[in-house]
Structure 1
Amino acid sequence: MGHIANSSWVPSVTLRVGAGSVEVAALLLGADGRVRGDADMVFEGQPAHPSGAVRHEKASLVLALHEVEAEVERIVIAGSAGGGSMAAMAPDRTVVATWMMPGTDKASAVVFGEFFRESGGWKFGGLEKEYASGLAGLVTAYGVEVAEDEPAAGRTEKPAPGLLEKPAVEAAAAPVTGPVPLAGVVKVPMHAPPTAGGHQGTPGGAGGSGTPGASGSTGRAGTVGTPIAPDPSVFPPVEREYRLLEGWEFGPVFKPFTVTGRGSDVITTPGRVPAGPVLFEVAHQGGGHFAVVPLDKRNKEGTSLFNTTVPDYRGSTVTPAPEDRPLRLRLIGENDWVARVKPVAAARRLEPAMAGYGDEALLHLGGAADLRVDFKGSPGGGGSIALWVHEVTGQTQLTHVGRTLALNTSGRILQTVPLPPGPALLLLIADGPWSLTVREVGF
């Protein structure tokens, strides 16, 4: 079950692709839909393509689409689990493609989708392919030859089951006991037989050994005025993030404040963050419960800005920085996190077509328009979505004046809501992936 139709354009830049805690792999395919050789599979045990255009890093993939060899027509994204939610993120943290697979108990590996060339650029298309035979069966379908261990004496092996494509159901050859780790796949060269006496092993897993550790491991999070350098795999450096929207006047302008940490903590903004509405961005690595709650002048908790169990969560919203004291926020989590306070003018712009996952603050400067909202619900089913529209002309705070609740529903929807002309701040609150299409009405 995906939420982006096939033939969705993506920018030809370096994308980071992940699926939460699901281990991912990439298969680089030629015009015939098959790998050209052993090196065209990139995963944890073989973390880099010879061209350098595709790499495996910390349970995610890095695809430099502008550097992919001309002979490669498609890049298939696979996962070592029966389901999950895949997302592709551009260097500016924009989510350019997502796809959700609900999973079944008959599959232990899936193909999420593929990036493919068209008209000189790249598109993404979601796929629904499940493999009961795990990653070994999956990669075989694309031309990878998988070496199998010799069966123990006195034991017979049943043939591996083939491809499961919905709605076909395959007779089980053996019980599926769980996802097959990508590192367990041992390959042999496609155009040469295995050497006598054994199989050719995968290269040593050196790709993960050079990855920097958690950014919060070198100091304590929440230290006012001395933010710890963020992990670039979570957020790009500040210099590439700090881009103000010209002509946007709602909220103060200041140098962004960044802090990282692990587990639960309280952060306090420095004096350079003035009073008024500010953009708050957060990223939480891994799974488990994660929440962000503002603290009032009595140091008591208010209404949560974020409250989620989505793995590898990223979100943004706008919150007021008080006049008489610093902004203080309690972060409740189990893993590494990065938080940023930035001017509202640095938020993501509403574009004619865009996609994302979870909560997001968006800036609208266009004319009156119809906004088409496609929401598939949360990965576990259900889920809700809401959209607040704040007209900001003449406003200095988020008040009830000019505020409209344009959408508030649950479950899967495909709905159009009217938008007033900008400038306006859109606060999207969602429990799963979404896509937006803007159609200006012309008056």
Structure 2
Amino acid sequence: MGHTSESSWVPSVTLLVGVGNEGISALLLGADGRVRGDADMVFEGQPVHPSGAVRHTKQSLSLALHEVEPEVERIVIAGPAVSGSLAAMAPDRQVVVAWLIARPDDAKAVVFGEFFRESGGWKFTGIGKGYASGLAELVTAYGVEVAEEEPVAAPAERAFPGSMEKPVAEAAAASPVNGPVPLTGVAKVPMHAAGMPGSTGGEDRKSWAGGVGEPVAPDPSVFPPAEREYRLLEGWEFGPVFEPFTVTGRGSDVITTPARVPAGPVLFEVAHRGRGHFAVVPLDKRNKEGASLFNTTVPDYRGSTVTPAPQGRPLRLRLIGENDWVARVKPVAAARRLERAMVGFGDEALLHLGGAADLRVDFRGSPGGGGSIALWVHEVTGQTELTHVGRTLALNTSDRILQTVPLPPGPALLLLIAEGPWSLTVRELGF
């Protein structure tokens, strides 16, 4: 394929985008040409956008253009100044973008190009704009707030996400105060600082965890039965109460909930036997696909989340898989309660009814290496649906971590998105 010209159409599918450099990053911009917040920057240190539509994977980005939120008008692709080419590959392995990169003189960071919406589809245009001052200048131009930080001795080429981890970790380890290095919206504190696995300092992990034990993957020989016992959490009022709905199948199919599942937030559980790609996508009133609830290649996958059942019509979901699966729709009150110490694997919805607490998260990565984890906290008092009100992104990172995040007092719904085994330990603050 020849070189892509500016403003060329691209298919609205999942594209794998790379420039042959680990520092590649994406900025998701609104109609005003600016990010909406820190989470709209995706790079190695913050590898998954909250929507799940943009992910950082090794030396490339995965852009699910058909799942990008409507509020996002442009996706800027940037990285450290290099010469070479930017390429985007569709799922059928066809290269749909091939853009030559010429390194601007004296630039430390470059905007390679951007994907943007037009007439209901997506286009790509090459840019090649350089920024002499590096990352901070580039991201500031798109609305990312970069706080001042203590100077760290590091080569100039370490000024872009993906190559900042060592200097930031050194700054965190050297700081007498626990907490993140003040670099807002650019790099989260690496999880290898004091108190993390492999460090020489910090509290003892076993004494803090209180004997929670090692998080383990589910036994692949065990497939969940079609029906299993459940109980409603007393005192939980978010979401309707109804008789659960269970369906089993094999391969790809579309399921429709019966009339007994009313409108409002519901718990959706799923299990897929064996290996292969597995995804669950809700269908809107026009029978078109929305953003994925699950999209994984983890073997013998099990997960749960909360999704809205629509008003005036049944909830319809497309399941994309290769093997046997079980799907269940239940009241949110049937989700597992966040307890003092618990283990799990993969995505899970959890209910928090306790007071303000510190939550210790131990994530061991995916079984094949790497992996990412994110945690959304929804304060649900007075709410009838999941909205931006009272919602906090408490955690969003990749690889192995051992990190403490603050939790507000309940009732709160925790949506954990993880590509591997995890353990949680709760320490209530008592005030």
Q: TM-score, normalised by structure 1?
A: 0.47
TM-score by length of 2: 0.49
